[in-house]
Amino acid sequence: MTLKNATILITGGAGFIGSHLSSELSKHNRVIVFDNFSSAVLKPKDLLNLGVSRVIRGDILNEKQLEKGLRGIDVVFHLAVACVRLSLSEKLPVHTVNATGTLEALIAAKKNGVKRFVYVSSSEVYGSAEKNTMDEQHPISPTTVYGMSKYMGELYTHYFNDREDLPTVIVRPFNTYGPRSHCEGVYGEVIPRFAVRAVNGKQPIIFGSGTQTRDFTFVTDTVDGIIRAGQSDRLTGEAINIAYGAEVSITDIAKIICKKAGVPFRPIMKPARPNDVSRHKADISKAKTVLTYQPQVDIASGISHYLSWIKDSYPNPKTLMKSVPAINWSIYEIKSV
């Protein structure tokens, strides 16, 4: 199907990836954002200024709000989520939002005759890489309640495709970064945290050896992949990886950021994070073949763009430091750094 002149609802559409997806899809469609704004990066008025047609302040666990919001919807992109770091201290709430919330969204979509349901899952369902690259058949072995809850959402999504006649697609994005990405508190991601510290002349805090690797993907590439997957009839009932397709260590990321920010590289080394994934590198051959997906932004260019965005958006970047505690996945906080 072609996503043009469709009525689309995006749960979590005020979040980091969701806000970029909302903006892009609004160019040719009527987009409705459904979000409780607990971890939003944009306010309702900002979303409307980006072209979003309507904003619903609602909770993914509220059956009545969901059912009302999904009336007249053609396609759902489900991004509402409780984040991975929160799952180490708040296991049951994370499970409830990610697993039960996905089931609630699927039920409401089925009741309202939605034509397609796109579930944005996570590469965290794989756990650490057991082979050089991780394709869609890589063993599922999540290391956190977050990863497990996202996989449970996948199972519910498969069920509705196979048993309830609701066409679905599952997207597994790898580590996404870029403008509007979270640097604050428990939601903070590694590149934003390194970047905010660097523009303030501070050294990166690296947990563990720094040899851990990730497949970092610029947000415009992630959004492009999600939209392509949402339009593909060939992917109905299947899952697909969306990533850049390159492995970069945490230490190398920190070095790139420090160099571009003009800060000497003298990292502060701290103990490893609990249940941390050691390696992630996506095999995106399926996305390239089925979706003609081709990521455009390499890590060096993406970091340059992100640093420029921080400087343009925050003339006084010191204000961001208050929201970037040196915290090890919400288990303990490191003082005096």
Domains of the chain are 7-175+219-242 (3.40.50.720), 176-215+246-278+297-321 (3.90.25.10)
Output the DSSP codes for 243-311. Answer: S----EEHHHHHHHHHHHHT-----EEEPPPTT------B--HHHHHHH-------HHHHHHHHHHHHH
pLDDT score, position 66: 96
- Which of 116, 119, 110 is closest to 29 using CA atoms? 116
Residue 26, amino acid: S
Q: 196 near 324, Cβ under 8 Å?
A: yes
Mean pLDDT of 316-322: 82
- Cα separation, 290 vs 295, in Å, equals 14
Q: Is the pLDDT of residue 318 over 90?
A: no
- Which of 250, 245, 281, 289 is closest to 267 using CA atoms? 250
Joined tokens for residue 128: 């650490």
pLDDT in tens, 186-215: 444 889 989 999 999 999 999 999 999 999
- Cα separation, 230 vs 1, in Å, equals 8
Model pTM? 0.93
The CA-atom distances, in angstroms, between 43 and each of 38, 211, 303, 306 are 11, 37, 25, 21
Joined tokens for residue 194: 């390194």
Residue 158, amino acid: H
- Which of 245, 200, 258 is closest to 218 using CA atoms? 245
DSSP state of 81: -
Q: 34 near 69, Cβ under 8 Å?
A: yes
- Cα separation, 197 vs 96, in Å, equals 33
Q: Is the pLDDT of residue 333 over 80?
A: no
pLDDT in tens, 208-245: 999 999 999 999 999 999 999 999 999 999 999 999 99
- Cα separation, 144 vs 127, in Å, equals 8
Q: Which residue has the tokens 């997906």?
A: 293
Question: For 305-328, b where at least 16 C-beta lie within 10 A, e where not — what string?
Answer: bbbeebeeeeeebeebeeebbbbb
- Cα separation, 95 vs 146, in Å, equals 7
First to last CA, the chain: 52
Output the DSSP codes for 15-75. Answer: SHHHHHHHHHHTTTSEEEEEE--SS-SS-HHHHHHTT-SEEEE--TT-HHHHHHHTTT-SE
pLDDT in tens, 159-171: 999 999 999 999 9
pLDDT score, position 328: 41
